[in-house]
């Protein structure tokens, strides 16, 4: 049992060794490189100045160009917003115009319906008067016929022979 545990410990420690050795060798190399490189401060300053003198004007020109582009884009966006607003207003006006046109059409329809209703009212009034006249005429004719019948009945009664009264 102890032998197995030692083998397990040995295998794990062996796998850690190469990793640890690798890290230590990297640290030794980096420290040895730093120790070996000697840098002159004046040379670094001059190289930095030269680098900046060479690239700085181009970078500043690029920065100005980008700022100008950004400003132009802002102006373009504002202009586009204004144009979109104008188009929306135009569409709203077109919608209003179509609504007014539609309102005129419906108004004309209402006026026509009103005229028709007035005309129909006049016709019904005339028809009612005519119907009343016809009814009165029929009643008059019926009354005259009734009177004529009564006259004929009376006449027939008078024509019927009456027995003589005995005295």
Q: What is the pLDDT of residues 95-113, one digit of tens each?
A: 888 899 999 999 999 999 9
Residue 69 lies in a domain: yes
Residue 82 lies in a domain: yes
Residue 36 lies in a domain: no
Residues 130-143: what's their mean pLDDT?
97
Looking at residue 26, its pLDDT comes to 58
Summary mean pLDDT of the chain: 83
DSSP 62-111: HHHHHHHHHHHHHHHHHHHHHHHHHHHHHHHHHHHHHHHHHHHHHHHHHH
By percentage, how much of the chain surpasses pLDDT 90?
A: 58
Residue 81 lies in a domain: yes
Q: In terms of residue numbers, what domain contains 86?
A: 42-126
pLDDT at residue 29 greater than cutoff 80: no
Residue 119 lies in a domain: yes
Residue 49 lies in a domain: yes
Looking at residue 157, its pLDDT comes to 84
Looking at residue 96, its pLDDT comes to 86
Residue 107 lies in a domain: yes
Residue 10 lies in a domain: no
Distance between CA atoms of 51 and 45, rounded to whole angstroms? 10
pLDDT at residue 31 greater than cutoff 60: no
Based on the structure, what is the number of domains in the chain?
1
CA-nearest of 151, 159, 155 to 143 is 151
pTM for the predicted model, two decimal places: 0.40
Residues 69-91: what's their mean pLDDT?
93
Distance between CA atoms of 138 and 150, rounded to whole angstroms? 18
Quick: pLDDT tens for 37-56. Answer: 678 899 899 999 999 899 99
């Amino acid at each position: 049992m102890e032998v197995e545990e030692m083998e397990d410990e040995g295998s794990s420690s062996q796998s850690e060794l190469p990793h640890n050795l690798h890290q230590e060798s990297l640290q030794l190399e980096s420290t040895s490189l730093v120790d070996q490189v000697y840098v002159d401060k004046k040379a670094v300053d001059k190289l930095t100045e030269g680098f900046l003198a060479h690239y700085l004007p181009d970078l500043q020109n690029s920065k100005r160009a980008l700022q100008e582009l950004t400003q132009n884009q802002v102006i373009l966006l504002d202009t586009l917003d204004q144009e979109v607003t104008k188009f929306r207003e135009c569409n709203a006006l077109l919608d209003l115009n179509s609504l007014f046109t539609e309102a005129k059409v419906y108004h004309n329809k209402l006026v026509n319906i009103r005229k028709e209703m007035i005309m129909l009212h006049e016709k019904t009034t005339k028809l009612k008067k005519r119907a009343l006249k016809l009814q009165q005429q029929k009643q008059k004719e019926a009354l005259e016929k009734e009177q004529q019948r009564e006259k004929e009945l009376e006449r027939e009664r008078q024509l019927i022979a009456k027995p003589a009264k005995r005295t």
